[in-house]
Amino acid sequence: MQILQDKKIVLGISGGIAAYKTPELVRRLKEHGADVRVVMTDGAKAFITPLTLQAVSGNAVADSLLDTQAELAMGHIELAKWADLIIIAPATADIIARIAAGMANDLLTTLCLATSASIALAPAMNQQMWHALATQANVKTLNERGYLLWGPGCGEQACGDVGLGRMLEVEELVSLGSDYFSDKYLQDQHWVITAGPTREAIDPVRYISNYSSGKMGYAIAHAAVRAGAKVTLISGPVTLNAPVGCQLISVNSAEEMHLQALLFAPQCTIFVACAAVADYKVANIAAQKIKKTNDVMQLELVRNHDIVADVANLADKPFMVGFAAETQNVEQYARGKLVRKNLDLIAANDVAKSGQGFNSDDNALTLFSAIDKTDIPLANKQIVAQQLVSLINQHYLAKQS
């Protein structure tokens, strides 16, 4: 049976140029077995007609909160209860703002308040509008309330600008819809994930480390477990609880993490190297606490093993996903690392930007393969992890086919 078979999906369409893609989205959802009902805002009807969407969905299109016939049976409440999932595509800056504000001044925003179903937003707007502080604040608010964020994509826009803001392509939205209903779409896979910092001892009471909190790696582990994967989490010292259902291997140093990574990598399907591993360790660890006797203290450092490169060079290497936390020239360094370390994918982020990356609850990633890249916009790390896990799986399956 298809994953979307008999699933009840409300497609909310707001007033953006990407609305022209929605008949194809309806058609593809129905091909996968879904029952689709369409709700349109007044703005949406300036781009696509209700009659077109009625024809492809096979259901009457709802476009008015004040439809006297529909409201005889409390139509908006009935529709809100009917839905298994609401997808808003395109989700313009306006509809995102009105939903975030809790408004209910049209049928679509009213549905969002009245439903207990999950709501997925597929943003579509000019790149400057997407990056506007107001839009980002609204998106952050909706993330915190549990809304799903599907996109936006990056590329050329109708206005001629290039950047984040494009609505995801129809096939990507259908795939995300399938993933939502398929809690176990990774059930035949074993993921090994490294997370957190490492600590390189100086003496019995001091060490060298970094600012990694482990939140991103733990979020990936949680998303993979939820999707049905067997997960082995190799973690440096953090203050987080491991996701229920995963195997936790606790380590301290890069050497310990290297040993465990090489032990588990040959057994796994996908290896995600998310840990912030120290590049260097102290050459000679003091047996006793070093006393403050001089104004200057020098430490000799030697390189640690390169965990990612060593796993990627195994004869039976798994599908390899690396991370690149950079402060400048993010794409250049990420693509270089992708090739140099023999990776299938690399997820890069700019940790110099405030509010994302190390120790933050939010993150933004760009996923690079040898031939393309996909942006995952700033959101709560749990949301980012869900999108990242789905994208990794798509690339993995494509490589196997």
pLDDT tens, the chain, 401 aa long:
478 888 999 999 999 999 999 999 999 999 999 999 999 999 999 999 999 999 999 998 988 776 655 554 445 678 888 999 999 999 999 999 999 999 998 999 999 998 888 899 999 998 889 989 999 899 888 877 878 888 888 777 676 777 788 898 898 898 888 878 876 789 889 999 999 999 999 999 998 998 889 999 999 998 898 888 999 999 999 988 888 778 999 999 999 999 999 999 999 999 999 999 998 999 999 889 988 888 888 889 999 999 999 999 999 899 999 998 877 888 888 999 999 999 999 999 887 776 666 667 788 899 999 999 898 888 878 888 988 999 999 999 999 88
**Strand 270-273 relative to strand 190-195: parallel, antiparallel, unpaired?**
parallel
If one looks up domain 8-181 in CATH, what number appears? 3.40.50.1950
339 alpha carbon, distance to own chain's centre: 23
> 3-class DSSP state for residue 234?
strand
User: Which one from 112, 154, 159, 274 is the annotated catalytic residue?
Assistant: 159
Q: How far apart are CA 364 and CA 362, in angstroms?
A: 7
pLDDT of residue 73: 47
Query: At a CB cut-off of 8 Å and minimum separation 6, what does 376 contact?
Result: 364, 365, 366, 367, 384, 387, 388, 391
Tokens at residue 394, please?
Answer: 């798509």
Domains 8-181 and 190-400 share a fold: yes
Annotation says 112 is catalytic: no
* Packing angle of the helix pair 107-114, 75-82 (nearest 10 deg): 50
User: Which pLDDT score, from 0 to 100, does residue 70 have?
Assistant: 53
The C-alpha atoms of residue 270 and residue 272 are separated, in whole angstroms, by 7
All structural domains of the chain with their residue ranges: 8-181, 190-400
Q: Would you say 121 and 109 are in contact if contact means Cβ atoms under 8 Å apart? A: no
The reported pLDDT for the residue numbered 270 is 98
Return the CATH number of 190-400, one of 3.30.70.2860, 3.30.9.10, 3.40.50.10300, 3.90.650.10.
3.40.50.10300
* CA–CA dist 379, 382 (Å, integer): 8
